[in-house]
A and B are shown apart, each in its own frame.
Chain A
Amino acid sequence: MKLLHKDIEKDNAGQVTLVPDEAEDMWHTYNLLQVGDSLRASTIRKVQTESSTGSVGSSRVRTTLTLCVETIDFDSQACQLRVKGTNIQENQYVKMGAYHTIELELNRKFTLAKKVWDSVVLDRIEQACDPAQKADVAAVVMQEGLANIVLVTPAMTLLRAKVEVTIPRKRKGSCAQHEKALERFYEAVMQGILRHINFDVVKCVLVGSPGFVKDQFISHLFKEAVRQDNKVLLENRPKFMLVHSSSGHKYSLKEILSDPAVTSRLSDTKAAGEVKALEDFYKMLQHEPDRAFYGLAHVEKASDALAIDILLISDQLFRHQEVATRSRYVRLVDSVRDNGGTVRYLNQLSGVAAILRFPIAGLSEAEEEDSDSD
């Protein structure tokens, strides 16, 4: 993402102009947008014209519109962002107050104006525009009959393909079906890799599985690559890396990313950092439960006591469209920062968790009515 222009007033109102240049920037933009903001971008509008004779014709025109955002829709798989809202700047094609949906496009600038630019949003812009944060990793998490092909980008993990093949068990006296189905499964995963992993961008492909599935798969993959003379695979052979995972479900990706062999080879992706932070938290909870808090109410209490050392917070919470709720989280983040704590983002543990500098005892018993968040 490129920041072209930033104009923020003293009262935190203002606008920024950005150019997204990667699919992931759509994700960042998604996190920046809120209902009530105004967005100006170039878009295509179908315009109806009525000629003097009364015949109606329609044409598609490219025009720049400014919308007051009403709904935001993000397709995480295709990385597309659609923003719907009412027009607030009339032009020759579109009347004031008419509804329109802008689909943001790569490499076209847009301008976003907000009444309040808070620290979290500004942080996000900074993060999105940081060119250093790039490490594209693909991972294949698999077990017999199930494989997930994911793309791990600095900010997000994209599930690219899920391969599910029913594999008959070995039965007394007949393994042919089992082995045939296994072949078919490996073939499907191989096709998935070829289709979804762009080896020009991806620097490393992690293959993780329990048992020997990964070894078997890799040997099958390269045997097939040689047989089919698939240059792409053969050239990129060194990029493949085998790691142990306990299952083929997507959440096992976390195990792969925290494997020491992987962390030493990868630059810090967000996912890996998240794993580390979570681990710290759990360790603390285990050994000093009074220094590890989670749930908004408890964490806020701890924050009031200036006790928070590390705040773990889900960025989902900032997508909260209710201003009051959102500002509650922003306040929390700001107060932690102001008091010298660090803030990390992670998506677990009901959203907010904190590791404290000093233990606060008896807080968990104090109130029990509000930990109902799901």
Chain B
Amino acid sequence: MTMTSAPKRAERTAHAHLPRQHGGHRVTRVGPEPRGETDPDRNPPGGRERPRTRTCPGTGTSAATTTTKTLRTMTCTDSQWTMTIASLQLRLHSSSTRGRRRRWSRWRRRSSRSRTRPPPLLSSATLTRWTRDVCTPVWTRCGPCSGTRLPDSVLTQAAVRCDFDPQRALDAVLSGEDAPPPHAQEQPLPQRQQRGRVRESSQAQLETEVLPKVARMTVSGKKQTMGFEVPSNEENGVPSPSVRRAPSPDVVSVTMTPETPSKLLGGADEAPPPATPRPAGSNKNQLNVREELEKRQGGKPLLNLVVIGHVDAGKSTLMGHLLYLLGNVNKRMMHKYEQEAKKAGKASFAFAWVLDETGEERDRGVTMDVGMTKFETNSKVVTLMDAPGHKDFIPNMITGAAQADVAVLVVDASRGEFEAGFEAGGQTREHGLLVRSLGVTQLAVAVNKMDQVNWQQERFQEIVSKLGHFLKQAGFKDSDVSYVPTSGLSGENLTTRSSVPELTSWYKAPCLLEQIDSFRPPQRSLEQPFRLCVSDVFKDQGSGFCVTGKIEAGFIQTGDRVLAMPPNETCTVKGITLHDEPLDWAASGDHVTLSVTGMDIIKINVGCIFCDPKEPIKVCSRFRARILLFNIELPVTQGFPVLLHYQTVSEPATIRKLVSVLHKSSGEVLKKKPKCLTKGQNAVVEIQTQRPVALELYKDYKELGRFMLRYVGSTIAAGVVTEIKDFFLSPAPRLSRS
């Protein structure tokens, strides 16, 4: 720990004069750290160091703050400002500056030796803590829309200038006369605000209980937000402006009574929302995440698409060709692939090589792992995942499908091949069931290799009727399934409507790309706490390492601290990349690469879940689930060994207890403690995994509550988590002090 001494402090004051220029976007770090960064007292319990820029409502004053060393000093309504805290702060400052500095640095020296608490007066560390502990609830109460932050350096500056007259100083600060010129366009930070929103709702329930004293962070505080009652969307979705309207000064004095620890904990971390002057602050703010999300990528919503189907149906070729036609693969590369493929004696695989990049995949002509890339349609940005079709790689396919919103099912139209893929041993059925169980509801079926059957309408109809029957059974709505005749090799009917007369004579409907374009983008759960499932871990240049995965809920910003479960380690997000482009933030639904520091790469495996440290995911090794058994040969008994596929994890597990058999549609209990489960049954079971896994209940997070069970190379059941049996409340992750 270093000691901050008087010169440094002077530097800080000087620093406040510097004009702050931060482009239109959020700035990562402004200038040198004004204070001893290592001082633990200065870190709020939230422990986040996040640079941010804010625009004060009402005045348009912009305050760029450097790190957590911001003081949340003011709350505001649309027109009113509440300044109790700031004035208090300023009163504390009302001795001579020099004396204060001297005393302060003396204290610093002493406290670093003796670790005593600072004297209440004049220690800015105390001030910070006080502000954090006392003001935060105020801020939280006032609602995310109303708070703002000013760096204390600015405040100090103002105080000095106004001879420590709080009123004047505040006026000065607020009117922005010594603040840097306001930024033309600050990027609002909807994310933060959303987070505040989630907390707000849980807080609303606590409104009545006023705890007698301020407690430091406790586990019980944590529980309130991380327990089973995760606030639902409805609660969050409908803001109640009256509650969150910033209180007038006299209200503040009431709300200043310290509140529950959870709020302190949560509040310390929350940044105030972007507050640009606007009439109906809170409502507008709430829209912002979505707005931002919509604005990004030129207003095109993001869609995660998985391509599935039996081995050799032509998935990779179809997609490779589509990418080529869309110009995502340049001619030179394509030519190279063609030449190489020809040399290897498999010229027809050239397009597949766009997505099959490893030597092994090219040698064998089989996709082994999910190939990921992106392309754009007229109205969407599509993250494409090309799943392997081979039976042995279904675990890989599951990781891909678990991250998908929509799917393209590719079937081979040629004689015998469709049947081979569709009958019992083929993957067409298994893949179809898998994606449906993993939450995909919209499906486009590409009836591929139609050129080999001369674009016969009868063949197409035959396949459509057979598949249609099956897909309906699997649970797809007829209206959500569309069929497109295609040819991956010749590229017919992929990006433009075909001109082949055999086809155009009977097929008038859209081509594959248009079908993909017409998928409805899924709802993103932005209000829930952050969750990301790690699908890949790798080293990149620079410090730390990278993880790839889909954000299942919430949002993330650079500089955030995240918690990895089950290892229960925290780390800091240094960078976010989406489709190879760096971003400052990303939200639910994005397939991002995070570069993180502060954690050992060894501890992170594929299948870990990164989550909000305040509201961590549950970790357990035994849970109760409702499962639907597929067409299985062996009956499932107690003690049945299975492989649990959950998001990107595959973990050996055992079925410990057969709790009951349920009626398929009504869900009523047909039989308790059945002897065994047979095909097609709907049952409640208890599952024990070998090692703990991070899980969520289905009712809380739809995507994170689903899993698949496999046994000896075939999928035997799909399930949803209904109850966690041995829920380890993991020790609170170390927050700021380290």
**Chain A interface (Cβ < 8 Å from any Cβ of B):** 143, 145, 166, 168-173, 175, 177-179, 210-212, 216, 244, 246-247, 249-252, 255, 282-283, 285-286, 289, 294-295, 298, 348-350, 364, 368, 371-372, 374
From residue A56, how far is it (CB to closest CB) to chain B in Å?
A: 46
Tell me the complex Cα distance, A244–B390, Å.
14
From residue A360, how far is it (CB to closest CB) to chain B in Å?
A: 12
Which residue of the partner chain, among A169, A172, A211, contacts B390 with CB atoms under 8 Å? A211
Complex contact B536–A249 (CB within 8 A): no
Which residue of the partner chain, among A170, A175, A210, A252, contacts B393 with CB atoms under 8 Å? A210
Tell me the complex Cα distance, A348–B639, Å.
6
- The residues of B that contact A250 with a CB separation of less than 8 Å are 652
From residue B595, how far is it (CB to closest CB) to chain A in Å?
A: 14
Complex contact A285–B635 (CB within 8 A): yes
Chain B residue nearest to A314 (CB atoms) is: B639
7 A-B pairs closest in CB distance: A246-B713, A168-B538, A210-B392, A211-B392, A169-B536, A282-B634, A364-B675
- The residues of B that contact A216 with a CB separation of less than 8 Å are 360
From residue A63, how far is it (CB to closest CB) to chain B in Å?
A: 43
From residue B681, how far is it (CB to closest CB) to chain A in Å?
A: 13
Name which of A170, A172, A249 has the most chain B CB atoms within 10 A of its CB: A170
Complex contact B638–A210 (CB within 8 A): no
Known: A171-B538, A210-B395, A285-B637. 9 other contacts (CB 8 A): A168-B536, A169-B536, A216-B360, A246-B712, A247-B643, A285-B676, A289-B635, A289-B675, A349-B637
**Chain B interface (Cβ < 8 Å from any Cβ of A):** 357-361, 364, 368-373, 390, 392-393, 395, 535-539, 548, 580, 601, 604-606, 633-635, 637-639, 641, 643, 650, 652, 656-657, 672-676, 678, 710, 712-713
Chain A residue nearest to B605 (CB atoms) is: A166
Given contacts A178-B358, A247-B643, contact A166 B606 (CB under 8 A): yes
- The residues of A that contact B605 with a CB separation of less than 8 Å are 166
Given contacts A169-B536, A282-B635, A368-B672, contact A175 B359 (CB under 8 A): yes
Chain A residue nearest to B371 (CB atoms) is: A170
From residue A365, how far is it (CB to closest CB) to chain B in Å?
A: 8
Complex contact A170–B357 (CB within 8 A): yes
Complex contact A289–B676 (CB within 8 A): yes
Complex contact B535–A169 (CB within 8 A): yes
Which residue of the partner chain, among B372, B637, B652, B678, contacts A249 with CB atoms under 8 Å? B652
Chain B residue nearest to A367 (CB atoms) is: B673
- The residues of A that contact B537 with a CB separation of less than 8 Å are 166, 168
Complex contact B368–A350 (CB within 8 A): no
Complex contact B392–A371 (CB within 8 A): no
Which residue of the partner chain, among A170, A246, A255, A286, contacts B633 with CB atoms under 8 Å? A286
Which residue of the partner chain, among B357, B641, B643, contacts A348 with CB atoms under 8 Å? B641
- How many interface contacts (CB-CB < 8 Å) are there between A and B? 106
Complex contact A349–B638 (CB within 8 A): yes
- The residues of B that contact A298 with a CB separation of less than 8 Å are 675
Which residue of the partner chain, among A177, A211, A286, A364, contacts B539 with CB atoms under 8 Å? A177
Complex contact A251–B641 (CB within 8 A): yes
Which residue of the partner chain, among A168, A179, A282, contacts B359 with CB atoms under 8 Å? A179
Tell me the complex Cα distance, A2–B571, Å.
58
Complex contact B360–A247 (CB within 8 A): no
- The residues of B that contact A171 with a CB separation of less than 8 Å are 372, 536, 538, 548
- The residues of B that contact A172 with a CB separation of less than 8 Å are 357, 371-373, 580
Chain A residue nearest to B540 (CB atoms) is: A177
Tell me the complex Cα distance, A173–B537, Å.
16
From residue A255, how far is it (CB to closest CB) to chain B in Å?
A: 6
A/B interface sample: 14 pairs, CB < 8 A: A166-B601, A166-B606, A169-B370, A169-B548, A211-B393, A212-B360, A246-B392, A246-B643, A247-B395, A282-B634, A285-B635, A289-B676, A349-B638, A364-B674
Complex contact B358–A179 (CB within 8 A): yes
From residue A303, how far is it (CB to closest CB) to chain B in Å?
A: 17
From residue B511, how far is it (CB to closest CB) to chain A in Å?
A: 25
- The residues of B that contact A371 with a CB separation of less than 8 Å are 638, 673
From residue B370, how far is it (CB to closest CB) to chain A in Å?
A: 7
- The residues of B that contact A374 with a CB separation of less than 8 Å are 656-657
- The residues of B that contact A251 with a CB separation of less than 8 Å are 641, 652
- The residues of B that contact A286 with a CB separation of less than 8 Å are 633-635, 678
Tell me the complex Cα distance, A215–B225, Å.
50
- The residues of A that contact B637 with a CB separation of less than 8 Å are 282, 285, 294, 349
Tell me the complex Cα distance, A252–B390, Å.
18
Tell me the complex Cα distance, A252–B650, Å.
13
Chain B residue nearest to A251 (CB atoms) is: B641
- The residues of B that contact A252 with a CB separation of less than 8 Å are 712
Chain A residue nearest to B362 (CB atoms) is: A175
Tell me the complex Cα distance, A289–B361, Å.
45
Chain B residue nearest to A372 (CB atoms) is: B657
From residue B609, how far is it (CB to closest CB) to chain A in Å?
A: 16
Tell me the complex Cα distance, A247–B45, Å.
44
Chain B residue nearest to A363 (CB atoms) is: B675
Name which of A172, A252, A255, A348 has the most chain B CB atoms within 10 A of its CB: A172
Given contacts A170-B371, A286-B678, contact A350 B638 (CB under 8 A): yes
Chain A residue nearest to B372 (CB atoms) is: A172
Which residue of the partner chain, among A170, A295, A368, contacts B638 with CB atoms under 8 Å? A295
Complex contact B638–A294 (CB within 8 A): yes
Chain B residue nearest to A347 (CB atoms) is: B639
Complex contact B639–A350 (CB within 8 A): yes
Tell me the complex Cα distance, A31–B393, Å.
41
From residue A348, how far is it (CB to closest CB) to chain B in Å?
A: 5
Tell me the complex Cα distance, A211–B537, Å.
22
From residue B280, how far is it (CB to closest CB) to chain A in Å?
A: 44
Tell me the complex Cα distance, A112–B484, Å.
77
Tell me the complex Cα distance, A371–B359, Å.
52
